Amino acid sequence: MTNLISRVVFGVPLAAVALLAIWRGGWAMVAFAGVAAVIGCHELFVMARPLRPMVIAGTLGSLGMVVGAHAGGLAWALLPIPIALVAAFLMAAGVAMRESATVSVAVTLLGPAYVGVGLASLVLLRDAGADATGYNVLLAVVLGTWASDIFAYFGGRAIGRHKLAPAISPKKTVEGFLVGLVFGALTVWWTLYAVERHITHTQAAILGVVVALVSPFGDLFESFLKRDLSVKDSGRLLGGHGGVLDRIDALLFAGPAAYITLDLIGRVV
């Protein structure tokens, strides 16, 4: 019960700010995603501090991806990745390191490849299409991701019997995953069915299944990183409720998956 209350206390204000940024779009969305990128990279690199990431290169690369996504689309969103790679190489080559320089550069690039790609894809989704299409699609993706997480949590507590990934996240169950999959997919489908006429019911259903299927792996991936790096939470910004990465981990996988899906079915214009 304490954990549930904590989720509500910290989750509701954050959700309200996120929904406001999605509604406003434009540079307001970029500002929100940019702040999340900077904080998310900070948390990631603090966790990975023993591996000596090049913090400036990774953080600016991720932030540049978010800004580039709105300023110039997909090509500009991807441009900071090779720039961050070159910067990380030059920084690693210019200092004497006791750890592997290869590992240091690789961890640095994890910031843009993980945090940057995830958040930039949300900006690309918001900017996609004509009229209110981008708003409707991103809203559906975000609500579907949240629904998948919420229903998986309650479904697992109610009927969970079989562990989904006990070595990574012992509390997650197969039954909770399936409940989250169904309700997450239905949430995406219903949100688009109710307001978006540029996407067919079949396309909305495909998007819903992809989002609900992929988003739990974003949560598992972050749990895997934390377990590997021997930390409990990504940060303490939200008190006992963890850090920003702990709250956006599912979206970092759902966003790119949704953008690619919409592109494959011809609905990113």
Q: Is the pLDDT of residue 42 over 70?
A: yes
The conformation of residue 87, written as its DSSP 8-state character, comes to H
Q: How far is CA 127 from CA 70, 156, 161, 177, 256, in A?
A: 7, 35, 42, 30, 14
pLDDT of residue 133: 86
**Model pLDDT for residues 201-240, shown as the tens digit of each residue:** 889 999 999 999 999 999 999 999 999 998 888 877 766 5
CB 188 within 8 A of CB 212: yes
pLDDT of residue 109: 97
Which 3 state secondary structure label does DSSP give 164? Answer: strand
pLDDT of residue 266: 79
User: Nearest-CA neighbor of 212 among 172, 169, 258?
Assistant: 258
Q: How far is CA 196 from CA 138, 199, 260, in A?
A: 11, 6, 19
pLDDT of residue 243: 86
